[in-house]
């Protein structure tokens, strides 16, 4: 009797051998154990950059004097600004900011050169889309240094007297949409998309694999059902669950974090439906591929991780290299994060939301198509 | 029984990769008949049932099931057949009533509520209808599964080892119920390992390694194999077994407690083989071959019956 209480190397080894055999048999788990670290290394190592440069900026150039041009080229040379287009009016500039097509609008007003030479400290207005304070922070911080450096050369000789303490120009920065740079204003709306992505894919990912694991799939298939009935029947309840989550987050955003809500909630809820369906379709697709619930969960994480990191939710989208932005553009979360921030913080309307909504809809359609193709009506 | 065919299929074949699981099986089951489908584990019984009800696509074969084309009209077959899986496959996290209700909705049963209520009453589970199916014992799960399979009043019932793990009393009740249903015109195709159950079928077939080896009534099947069997009782039967197996003419020995059945194809050779052992305390007499003798004989004849 007594020797059974001792630690037995033989039994320990038996356990060890069995675990290794089972690990080797479950190819997907093994693949994920290698794949997830690789994915993280690539994403964190190469894709993520907390100090984004070359941010697109539009210019309103109402004065064609040399000083204005000097300032613009120094902005470009700072590495933070990429002057991509010129616009005529402030309205036009604001529109680009709202749609997220540029991060900044630099406004060089009329008579800039004249006022500069006179020593009247002309105003240089930089408007920033500051929804994500992390994206614009460094670029704005670099502004005054870049400008002073640029003008030092011009302030030689007769203009030297202008190099007074408070600077030769009156630099004004307007941080639009989130003037106080409150992180929560940016994170909480984005969180809605993150929560929906994780939970919607997870629950539906388990939906069909659970039937298969418990043996109830055989029963279901022996009944006269069409795949579309089964799939839609499994999706609809979770659309409801998704809306409960949306409601919870909106409630918290409003009353706990006091996130401003400028846009139409009805518009946001409509966009949310498309986004929820896209994620459910991904989940169902995983569900038809995975052979058990563990695999479905692993696939969910394999999809969730890039979504989280490449969507612009946690790290500045514009800080990522081109290839990472391209992957990000495919993911529904990227567009939904922009939609939620756009509606709540910028008060965007149907026009600019539509631009972000169709990629989500397309993604949903493709995922649903794959799910329908993959769903087996037989046990073959 | 009116002689009309409920199932009439020819050359049903299914391969999984290189492995022939069902190998050109012909089967004719008459309406209102209880047809037993026997064979060792892995012989292709379940695969055959699944092909009949459209759960697996047959690689080859043709014929009809309930008058519908067995290959192309599986939707129609599904509507009129009830299939009871080997493993309990109803939803354990739904209550008894919810399971029945779900199935009734799936088949678009008329007067659904009333049908479910009657089904519960027949089951004797009206009082426990809110209990989760997962909390039922094996015997009750099996009764629930049967009730659920019958809720849409199918014309054909496919039962895959319905009484595995069920106690003898429940097993007998189950078979009484099957006979009662067949009496009302339901056709039943049932797979089983139990000889007593095989004998309760009107006709039966024996399948091994995907091939149909024999079929007919119990008497037909026994008669066709022309097996001669002797029963022997006496001291040290294991030792006797070892010696008998060496002798030509002895094909199989099957122990039955204190006696043993010794069988062979060739009655004369068998008689010669046992002649030396007829004295010393052994008591021999020739008996009718039983179904079990015949099936073991069939299994031994077909090479390698283990599932791979």
Per-residue pLDDT of chain B (308 residues; tens, 9 = 90+): 446 899 999 999 999 988 999 999 999 999 999 999 998 888 899 999 999 988 999 999 999 999 999 999 999 999 999 999 999 999 999 999 999 999 999 999 999 999 999 999 988 889 999 999 999 988 899 999 999 999 999 999 999 999 888 888 888 999 999 999 999 999 999 999 888 899 999 999 999 889 999 999 999 999 988 889 999 988 888 888 888 888 888 888 888 888 889 999 888 888 888 888 887 788 888 998 888 888 888 888 776 544 43
Neighbour-count burial of A101, counting CB atoms closer than 10 A to its CB (0-12 exposed, 13-18 middle, 19+ buried) = middle
Range in A151-155, A192-196, B196-200 with the lowest mean pLDDT: A151-155
Neighbour-count burial of B127, counting CB atoms closer than 10 A to its CB (0-12 exposed, 13-18 middle, 19+ buried) = exposed
Contacts with B85 from chain A: Cβ below 8 Å: 215, 218-219, 222
**Closest Cα in chain A to B75:** A224
* SS3 category, A363: helix
Gyration radius from chain A CA atoms? 27
C-alpha distance from B167 to closest chain A C-alpha (Å): 23
- In A37-192 the beta strands, taken as DSSP E runs, fall at 55-61, 81-87, 104-108, 123-129, 170-176
- Beta-carbon contacts of A16 under 8 Å, excluding residues fewer than 6 positions away, are none
Contacts with A219 from chain B: Cβ below 8 Å: 83, 85, 89-90
Under 8 Å CB pairs connecting chains A and B tally to: 43
C-alpha distance from B78 to closest chain A C-alpha (Å): 6
**Closest Cα in chain A to B94:** A216
- Beta-carbon contacts of B162 under 8 Å, excluding residues fewer than 6 positions away, are B84, B142, B145, B146, B174, B190, B192
- In chain B the beta strands, taken as DSSP E runs, fall at 5-16, 19-30, 34-38, 60-65, 68-69, 81-84, 156-160, 187-192, 203-208, 211-216, 228-233, 252-256, 259-264, 283-287
Name the DSSP letter for residue B306.
S
C-alpha distance from B259 to closest chain A C-alpha (Å): 41
Kind of pairing, strands B203-208 and B211-216? antiparallel
- pLDDT of A182 reads 84
**Closest Cα in chain B to A223:** B78
C-alpha distance from B287 to closest chain A C-alpha (Å): 44
The answer to whether A222 contacts B83, with C-beta atoms less than 8 Å apart, is yes
Length of chain A: 380
Residue whose structure tokens are 């077909």: B302
The gap from C-alpha B29 to its chain's centroid, in whole angstroms, comes to: 13
pLDDT band for position A162 (50/70/90)?
Answer: low
Closest CA to B263 of B58, B205, B271, A62: B271
Distances (CA, A) of B99 to A176, B19, B109, B160, B170: 57, 37, 14, 20, 21
C-alpha distance from A210 to closest chain B C-alpha (Å): 11
CB proximity A216 to B under 8 Å: yes
pLDDT: is B187 or A52 the higher one? B187
* SS3 category, A70: helix
Contacts with B156 from chain A: Cβ below 8 Å: none
- Sign of the Cα torsion B60, A290, A201, A368 reads negative
Contacts with B78 from chain A: Cβ below 8 Å: 222-224
- Sign of the Cα torsion A46, A50, A54, A56 reads positive
The answer to whether A224 contacts B75, with C-beta atoms less than 8 Å apart, is yes
Give the residue numbers in B contacting A (CB under 8 Å), as ranges: 50, 53-57, 75, 78-79, 83, 85, 87-92, 103, 106-107
Contacts with A216 from chain B: Cβ below 8 Å: 89-91
The answer to whether A216 contacts B89, with C-beta atoms less than 8 Å apart, is yes
The answer to whether A218 contacts B85, with C-beta atoms less than 8 Å apart, is yes
The answer to whether B53 contacts A215, with C-beta atoms less than 8 Å apart, is no
Give the other-Cβ count within 10 Å of A265's Cβ: 13
CB proximity A219 to B under 8 Å: yes
Find out whether A185 and A129 touch, Cβ atoms under 8 Å: no
Distances (CA, A) of B7 to B34, B79, B157: 12, 15, 11
Closest CA to A224 of B156, B68, B80: B80
Find out whether A178 and A136 touch, Cβ atoms under 8 Å: no
Which of B16, B50, B86 is the mutation pick for testing A, counting most A CBs within 10 A? B50
- pLDDT of A160 reads 61
CB proximity A229 to B under 8 Å: no
Find out whether A226 and A257 touch, Cβ atoms under 8 Å: no
Question: Does this complex have an ipTM over 0.90?
Answer: no
- pLDDT of A156 reads 62
The gap from C-alpha A113 to its chain's centroid, in whole angstroms, comes to: 40
Distances (CA, A) of B17 to A380, B14, B26, B117, B130: 11, 9, 22, 46, 45
Find out whether A300 and A198 touch, Cβ atoms under 8 Å: yes
CATH code for residues B5-222: 3.40.50.300
pLDDT band for position A66 (50/70/90)?
Answer: confident
Give the other-Cβ count within 10 Å of A225's Cβ: 16
- pLDDT of B305 reads 41
Comma-separated ranges of CATH 3.40.1710.10 domains in chain A:
55-176
The answer to whether B79 contacts A224, with C-beta atoms less than 8 Å apart, is yes
Asked if pLDDT for residue A368 goes beyond 80, the answer is: yes
**Closest Cα in chain B to A219:** B89
- pLDDT of B3 reads 61
Quote the tokens at residue B219. 């008497």
Residue whose structure tokens are 């020797």: A3
Q: What is the pLDDT of residues A277-327, one digit of tens each?
A: 999 999 999 988 888 888 899 899 989 999 999 998 988 888 889 999 999
**Cα–Cα distance measured from residue A371 to residue A367, given in angstroms and rounded to the nearest whole number:** 6
Kind of pairing, strands A81-87 and A55-61? parallel
Cβ density class A329-354: b for 16+ within 10 Å, e for less: eebbbbbbbbbbbbbbbbebeeebbe
Closest CA to B54 of B83, B90, B21: B83
Q: Between A215, A224, A378, which is nearest B89 by CB? A: A215
CB proximity A214 to B under 8 Å: yes
- pLDDT of A69 reads 86
CB proximity A218 to B under 8 Å: yes
C-alpha distance from A25 to closest chain B C-alpha (Å): 18
For residue B295, what is the enclosing H or E element? helix B291-301
Closest CA to A196 of A293, A311, A291: A311
Q: Where are the domains of chain B?
A: 5-222, 228-288
- pLDDT of B70 reads 93
- pLDDT of A1 reads 52
The answer to whether A221 contacts B55, with C-beta atoms less than 8 Å apart, is yes
Phi, psi of B188 (to 5 degrees): -130, 125
- Beta-carbon contacts of B164 under 8 Å, excluding residues fewer than 6 positions away, are B86, B193
Contacts with A376 from chain B: Cβ below 8 Å: none
Beta strands across the sheet bearing B5-16: B19-30, B5-16, B60-65, B68-69
* SS3 category, A195: helix
- Biggest CA pair distance of chain A: 104
Q: What angle do CA A182, A183, A188 make, to 5 degrees?
A: 115
Contacts with A224 from chain B: Cβ below 8 Å: 75, 78-79, 106-107
Q: Between B57, B83, B89, which is nearest A380 by CB? A: B57
Q: Between B75, B83, B90, which is nearest A216 by CB? A: B90
Strand partners, B204: B36, B216
The answer to whether A223 contacts B106, with C-beta atoms less than 8 Å apart, is yes
Annotation: CATH topology of B228-288: Alpha-Beta Plaits (3.30.70)
Beta strands across the sheet bearing B228-233: B252-256, B259-264, B228-233, B283-287
C-alpha distance from B274 to closest chain A C-alpha (Å): 49
In this structure, whether the domain defined by A55-176 belongs to CATH 3.40.1710.10 is answered with yes
pLDDT: is A246 or A63 the higher one? A246
């Amino acid at each position: 009797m007594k020797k059974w209480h001792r630690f037995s190397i033989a039994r320990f080894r038996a356990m060890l051998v069995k675990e290794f055999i089972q690990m080797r048999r479950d190819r997907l788990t093994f693949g994920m154990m290698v794949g997830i670290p690789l994915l993280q290394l690539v994403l964190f190592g190469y894709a993520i950059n907390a100090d984004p440069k070359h941010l697109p900026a539009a210019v309103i150039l109402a004065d064609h004097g040399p000083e204005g041009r000097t300032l613009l080229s120094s902005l470009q040379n700072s590495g933070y600004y990429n002057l991509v287009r010129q616009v005529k009016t402030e309205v036009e500039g604001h529109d680009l900011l709202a749609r997220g097509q540029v991060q900044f609008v630099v406004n060089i007003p009329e008579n800039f050169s004249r006022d500069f030479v006179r020593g009247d400290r002309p105003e240089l207005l930089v408007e920033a889309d500051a929804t994500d304070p992390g994206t614009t922070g460094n670029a704005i911080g670099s502004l005054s240094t870049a400008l002073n450096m640029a003008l030092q050369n011009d302030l030689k000789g007769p203009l030297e007297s202008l190099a007074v303490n408070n600077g030769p120009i009156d630099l004004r920065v307007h941080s639009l949409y989130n003037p106080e740079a409150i992180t929560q204003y940016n994170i909480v709306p984005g969180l809605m998309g993150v929560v929906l992505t994780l939970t919607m894919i997870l629950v539906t990912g388990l939906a069909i694999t659970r039937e298969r694991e418990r043996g109830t799939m055989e029963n279901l298939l022996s009944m006269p059902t069409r795949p579309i009935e089964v799939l839609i029947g499994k999706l609809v309840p979770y659309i409801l669950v998704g809306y409960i989550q949306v409601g919870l987050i909106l409630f918290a955003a409003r009353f706990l974090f006091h996130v401003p809500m400028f846009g139409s909630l009805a518009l946001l809820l409509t966009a949310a439906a498309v986004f929820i369906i896209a994620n459910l379709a991904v989940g169902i697709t995983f569900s038809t591929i995975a052979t058990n619930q563990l695999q479905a969960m692993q696939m969910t994480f394999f999809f969730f991780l890039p979504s989280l990191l490449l969507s612009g939710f946690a790290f500045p989208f514009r800080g990522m290299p081109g290839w990472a932005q391209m992957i990000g553009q495919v993911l529904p979360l990227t567009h939904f994060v922009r939609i939620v921030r756009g509606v709540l913080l910028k008060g965007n309307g149907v026009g600019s939301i539509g631009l972000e909504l169709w990629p989500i809809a397309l993604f949903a359609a493709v995922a649903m198509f794959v799910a329908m193709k993959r769903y087996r009506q037989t046990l073959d | 029984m009116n002689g009309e065919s409920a199932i009439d299929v020819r050359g049903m074949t299914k391969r999984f990769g290189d492995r022939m699981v069902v190998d050109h099986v012909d089967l004719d089951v008459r309406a209102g008949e209880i047809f037993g489908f026997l064979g060792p584990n892995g012989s292709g019984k379940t695969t055959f049932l699944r092909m009949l009800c459209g759960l697996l696509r047959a690689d080859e074969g043709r014929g009809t099931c309930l008058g519908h084309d067995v290959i192309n009209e599986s939707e129609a077959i599904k509507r009129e057949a009830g299939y009871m899986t080997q493993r309990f496959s109803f939803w354990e996290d739904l209550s008894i009533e919810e399971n029945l209700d779900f199935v009734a909705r799936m088949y678009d049963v008329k007067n659904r509520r009333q049908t479910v209520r009657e089904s519960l009453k027949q089951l004797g589970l009206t009082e426990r209808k809110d209990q989760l199916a997962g909390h039922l014992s094996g015997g009750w799960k099996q009764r629930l599964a049967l009730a659920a399979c019958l809720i849409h009043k199918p014309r054909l019932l496919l039962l895959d080892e319905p009484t595995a793990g069920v106690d003898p009393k429940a097993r007998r009740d189950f078979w009484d119920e099957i006979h009662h249903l067949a009496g009302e015109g339901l056709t039943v195709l049932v797979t089983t390992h139990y000889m007593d159950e095989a004998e309760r079928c009107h006709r039966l077939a024996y399948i091994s390694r995907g091939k149909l080896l024999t079929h007919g009534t119990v008497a037909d099947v026994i008669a066709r194999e022309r097996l001669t069997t002797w029963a022997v009782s006496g001291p040290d039967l294991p030792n006797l077994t070892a010696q008998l197996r060496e002798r030509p003419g002895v094909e199989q020995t099957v122990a039955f407690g204190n006696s043993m059945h010794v069988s062979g194809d060739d009655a004369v050779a068998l008689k010669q083989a046992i002649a030396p052992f007829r004295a010393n305390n052994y008591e021999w007499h020739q008996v009718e071959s039983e179904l079990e003798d015949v099936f073991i004989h069939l299994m031994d004849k077909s090479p390698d019956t283990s599932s791979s």
